[in-house]
Amino acid sequence: MLIDIKLPNIAGVNEVDVVDILVNIGDSIKFEQIIFVVEAQKASFDIPSPYNGIVKDIKVKIFDTVKINDIIIIIDSDEINLQSSLKTSSNILDVICDNKISKVYNNKFKSTKTKDYFLNDFKSYATPLIRRLSRKLNIDLFNIKGSGRKGRILKSDLDDYLNIKSRFINNNKKDNKSIKKENEFDKFGKTKFLAISDLQKNIANKLHKTWNTIPHVTQFDEIDITDLEVFRHSENKRLSFDKNFIKITPIIFLLKSIAKSLKKMPNFNSSLSNDGSFLILKEYINIGVAVNSSYGLFVPVICNVDKKNIIDLSVELSNLSNQVRSNKLRKVDCQGGSFTVSSLGKLGGIFFTPIINFPEVAILGISKILVKPVFVLNKIIPRTILPFSLSYDHRVINGVDAGEFMCLIDYFMSDIRRLII
């Protein structure tokens, strides 16, 4: 018996675009076999066959716009008992996404398999190509969180899923005997194993790639911030009476000084193309600030530093730091940086060699503020000194430019009135 299959109600939309037809006239199809792929509201949906049968006619073409309840295909099926259900007002099924129920009007479609198919697959945003690839690789898209725009699943997401799954399987194959074989130190005394978190592994892999890819050079200098500190302490005291007061730290003035310096020397605010043939100069100034926490090291990004005042920067950095320490930082908060600052704070040490945050070309590190005797106007007097280190990509920046950049930062930090010029 010939049966008209109509387009079901999908996600509450009135019409969809046909983006792929997966069967031909004369094909033998099975129940729940995917026969069409349609797109609505920038999301793709697979349309399964509600019957076993033979394709007799296809009523639509690729790129056609089809309305709900339009006939899309005619099949010849012996499943006569299903014909009556076809005459119901809602046709085959009524799919409602976003955690609602898939309503199915025939007992055959009330199977757990069918229900799970719609609940899971229709909530996954992916192109028809990705859906076909996922079926070929036997990957349930419901298990994957898309990294594309608005959560769309990309091919890289499938690759990452397979890599993680492969590592998980390989790790489970290791028994205590093989682990013990890897330990070459127990012959000298007792040892124990400490698992490395995925976050630590990701950081380690990125640092390893960066170190092997970028020819690092680091230069060191000191800034006299005596006058800056006098002003900063006075402002903190003045603002402390405000109930919403957030302490201004030295790094805030450093961020403004870096922003001014980057405008004068844009090569430091760039990225090198993959083939190394050109520089990508960024017209925005987004500075990442490394923040340590019990959950690991994160680099939240403050956008448009050059357009924000000292108070705004203090509030934003404080909020981002609190999010890091409470493990509430979003992935988007760590994206879009064009330059990075790393601070050892009060931990001690004078200089260090920070590793560039790829694909950026430079990073500035600051150490603990010191009070040192300095010869000024024939007198030795105590001055407040900030040691800082600049690592840069030598393919993009030479030593002279690095020295000039450090002098610019010193110029602005030693007299912050220059920041307003």
Q: Tell which residue, 51, 165, 167, has the closest CA to residue 114.
A: 51
| 197-241 tens-digit pLDDT | 776 787 788 888 899 999 999 999 999 999 999 999 999 999 998
* DSSP string for 310-367: HHHHHHHHHHHHHHHHTT---GGGG---SEEEEE-TTS--S---PPP-TT-SEEEEE-
Which two three-digit tokens encode residue 358?
């790829």
Instruction: Check whether 149 has a pLDDT greater than 70.
Output: no
Among the residues of 216-309, which ranges form H helices?
Answer: 226-239, 250-264
Q: At what angle do helices 250-264 and 226-239 cross, to 10 degrees?
A: 120
In the prediction, which pLDDT does 342 show? 96
Active-site annotation holds for 208: no
> What average pLDDT does range 355-366 have in this prediction?
96
Helices and strands counted in the chain (H then E) = 10, 22
pLDDT above 90 coverage of the chain, percent: 47
- pLDDT band per the 50, 70, 90 thresholds, residue 157: confident
Give the tokens for residue 207.
């640092």
Q: Which of 140-154, 227-241, 317-331 has the lowest mean pLDDT?
A: 140-154
Q: Which residue ranges form the domains of the chain, and what is each CATH number?
A: 2-122 (2.40.50.100), 212-420 (3.30.559.10)
From residue 94, give the alpha-carbon distance in Å to each of 8, 65, 100, 111, 241: 6, 19, 11, 15, 61
From the candidates 208, 216, 233, 394, give the one annotated as an active-site residue. Answer: 394
